[in-house]
Amino acid sequence: MTSRPTTAEIAAAQDRTIPDVVPPRGGVLLCGINPGLYSAATGWHFARPGNRFWPALHRSGFTDRLLTPDEQRLLPAYGLGITNLAARATATAAELTRAELEEGGALLEEFVRRHAPRVVAVLGVTAYRTAFGRPKARIGPQEAMLGGARTWILPNPSGLNAHYTAETLAGEFRVLRKAAGPVTT
């Protein structure tokens, strides 16, 4: 990974967006809540040191080695892609409005219809509940499909999510990987 952004660069990243990494048709689309300022400053998803996304991806078997955020372009070769419910970068996801998350849910459904992943996994149960009006949703597979894809909820990999250790987070990712089956690229 290249050098870390400065404090000024992070502060200047407010409201920036990060391009999606489009999965291959029939792949798995991982959907974060929204980019943090650190990620927006770098242009890479889940870039903040301490975020457990990349280690969970590797420990679960989705990737054969630990990728770094600046290698996100390699994800389609693993049958994966990344997007966000809300595109706008914020210091915390709590800054997003209900309307932004609901709009993001509608946009995600359009994205899924256009790119046809087999599975969509939203990384954050509270954001999923808000975006899709499903207040009782829990981690794991969902009955409701999204844009023709199976829907799954994974825990938010942020280091702020103290409910999950690195191992239990990787375990949830592993359950999804096994359920998703082989991905053709």
Is residue 38 included in any domain, yes or no?
yes
Residue (of 144, 133, 104, 77) closest to 17 by Cα position = 104
- 65 contacts: CB under 8 Å, gap ≥ 6: 58
Is residue 32 included in any domain, yes or no?
yes
pLDDT at 10: 87
Domain range for 138: 25-180
Q: Model confidence over 93-129: pLDDT tens digits? A: 889 999 999 999 999 999 999 999 999 999 999 999 9
- 5 contacts: CB under 8 Å, gap ≥ 6: 13, 38, 41, 42
Is residue 18 included in any domain, yes or no?
no
How many separate domains does the chain show?
1
Is residue 6 included in any domain, yes or no?
no
pLDDT at 185: 55
Is residue 14 included in any domain, yes or no?
no
Is residue 34 included in any domain, yes or no?
yes
Is residue 12 included in any domain, yes or no?
no
Which stretches in the chain have pLDDT values below 70?
1-2, 159-160, 162, 184-185
Does the predicted model carry a pTM greater than 0.85?
Answer: yes
Is residue 13 included in any domain, yes or no?
no
Q: How far apart are CA 61 and CA 16, in angstroms?
A: 31
pLDDT at 15: 78
Q: How far apart are CA 29 and CA 121, in angstroms?
A: 6
Three-class secondary structure assignment of 143-166: CCCECCEEEEEECCCCCCCCCCCH
| CATH code: domain of residue 117 | 3.40.470.10
pLDDT at 14: 86
Q: How far apart are CA 70 and CA 47, in angstroms?
A: 8
